[in-house]
Amino acid sequence: MGFARTCSVTLVGVEGVVVEVQADLEPGVAAFTLVGLPDKSLTESRDRVRAAVVNSGGEWPQKKLTVGLSPASVPKGGSGFDLAVACAVLGASERIDPRVLPDIVMIGELGLDGRVRPVRGILPAVLAAADAGFEQVVVPECAAAEAALVPGVSVLGVRSLRQLVAVLTDEPVPDEEPQEPDRPDPLMAGLRDLGSGAVTCTSGGPGRYDQGHDLADVVGQHTARTAVEVAAAGGHHLFLEGPPGAGKTMLAERMPSVLPPLDRQASLEVTAVHSVAGLLPPGRPLIDTAPYCAPHHSATMQALVGGGPGTGRPGAVSLSHRGVLFLDETPEFSSKALDALRQPLEAGHVVIARSAGVVRFPARFLMVLAANPCPCGRFSRTDDRCECPPSAIRRYQARLSGPLLDRVDLRVEVDAVTRRELSAVGARGETTTVVADRVRSARERAAARFHGTPWRLNSEIPGRELRSRWQAAPGAMDEAERSLERGVLTARGIDRVLRVAWTVADLSGHDRPDAGDVALALQLRTGVPRGVPMAIGAGV
């Protein structure tokens, strides 16, 4: 009887569970049994592993073979167990010394010719292995840079099963043909899921600012530019309402460039989600810029918050974690899908419960909503060109529920651009670089104020802590409290006004919000003009 064991990792959402892969050989009729709650793709590994071993020059044992995946109570899926299963079988047949296998975690899919193909979720899998105390991991060579992001782990990248067997047996490592630099890597083909949103989800360019989307390109819209700056500085959600062609989409597309670069922890969180979804940019194992996701208004609830077969996959709210989620033509989204956003907006994560298990995905994003004021798009307080009846306008605006809008901190009416503004010479606004520097300074002030607490942004502070520890100047909240008494603001709304006021104070360099900061926060929160000048910088 031969026995060997090694380890691999299965993913539950973006969290990994270390799985022990055991192989047992007994005399009897040649058979291959795989146990331990495998899914269909994992069950098919029996044929892939057998062909890979034979085509790599190895000898397949003609005995009764049983491969067990422990813990057996955890559902397991994917093709990332192939490499571990092959090495466990070779260890049981004594082609590899079984004593060198237990302390190694192996992740990778095997082709029929023995090549090691990449799989999704390398980063969270290696993180789970490191948390479990493992110090050695084996991954596909093209994913070695992603695995090397985890400190304290020795990473071995291999191109084929032959190379791994040679390393484990101290034999000369055979040379594999390198990939030509001008041709796409065939190993990466099919790694992304169809319909995963690769077209609408981007992770920024290699530089700090996206030079193709500059705030200076936006004509006019001083109020909206101020709202974008405040939203980026404090992490506040934003609702832009205005006619078609006013610049709502342009402002949203420039939001990621205004946000500061991600710190190390945030970069690992974002990279882990995109790795599970198969959306890591080629040649960039670590995403260090804010992601941007803009799903179409026909997106389903599962596409927005996550779900699908099995335990589910991350949705748009998770793919935009630590970045921007832009919902253009928001009233055209289904009400069911929009209302599903309430829980992640408050909690910062999504919990998806299925019969196969419960998974949790991070979802702390900055949401930007854009909508026309009416079906024809021409309704405004100062223009009578709208041809929609009042009942149609009410129905159209009622598609956005009150509880959802109550979670939006900033509401701005974007006016149509005038001919004078469009033809003005030399009247460009501030560039993205100038605004981004001011946003970074404001976030640094907030981070210094919240030092020693679990929060970093003004939008993250619980209302109880906000009212007790970080109060505005005496008398500054009087107008907001009167709005609460009149029913204009809810209890949640007045807390959000105070959060926005703190962000305005950080941008203005004030120690704490004064009456002017609160008045501007009220104007941005309610959308009702109060005669407050937009003096932060975007409007001057």
Stronger pLDDT, 269 or 202, i.e. the higher one: 269
Residue 245's alpha-carbon distances to 220, 258, 397, in angstroms, are 12, 22, 19
Please state, rounded to an integer, the average pLDDT across all residues of the chain.
Answer: 87
The reported pLDDT for the residue numbered 197 is 44
Cβ-count burial 470-486 (b if 16+ within 10 Å, e if not)? bebbeebbeebeebeee
Tens digit of pLDDT for each residue in 64-100?
999 999 999 888 988 999 999 999 999 999 999 999 9
Q: What is the mean pLDDT of residues 336-359?
A: 87
CA distance 99 to 4: 8
What is the token pair recorded at 229? 């700056």
What per-residue confidence (pLDDT) applies to 540?
40
Q: Are 113 and 52 in contact (CB under 8 A)?
A: yes
Identity of residue 512: R
For 381-411, write each residue's pLDDT tens digit: 666 678 889 899 899 988 999 889 888 999 9
At 423 the pLDDT is 73
Query: Can you give the pTM of this predicted structure?
Result: 0.88
The CB-based long-range contact list for 164-173 (8 Å cut-off, 24+ gap) reads 164/83, 164/87, 164/106, 164/116, 164/138, 165/56, 165/58, 165/87, 165/90, 165/95, 165/96, 168/87, 168/96, 168/97, 168/100, 168/101, 169/95, 169/96, 169/97
What confidence score (pLDDT) does residue 218 get? 85
- Please state which of the ranges 50-59, 181-190, 200-209, 405-414 shows the lowest mean pLDDT: 200-209
- The pLDDT value given to residue 73: 87
- The DSSP bridge pattern shows strands 64-70 and 15-26 to be antiparallel
**How many other C-beta atoms can be found within 10 angstroms of the C-beta atom of residue 71?**
13
User: Is residue 438's pLDDT more than 50?
Assistant: yes
- DSSP β-ladder status, 109-110 and 116-117: antiparallel
d(CA 283, CA 502): 39
- The per-residue pLDDT for 191 is 59
Asked if 256 and 292 touch (Cβ cutoff 8 Å), the reply is yes
- pLDDT tens digits, one per residue of 124-141: 999 999 999 999 999 999
Q: Read off the pLDDT of each residue in 349-358 and give the average, rounded to a whole number.
A: 82
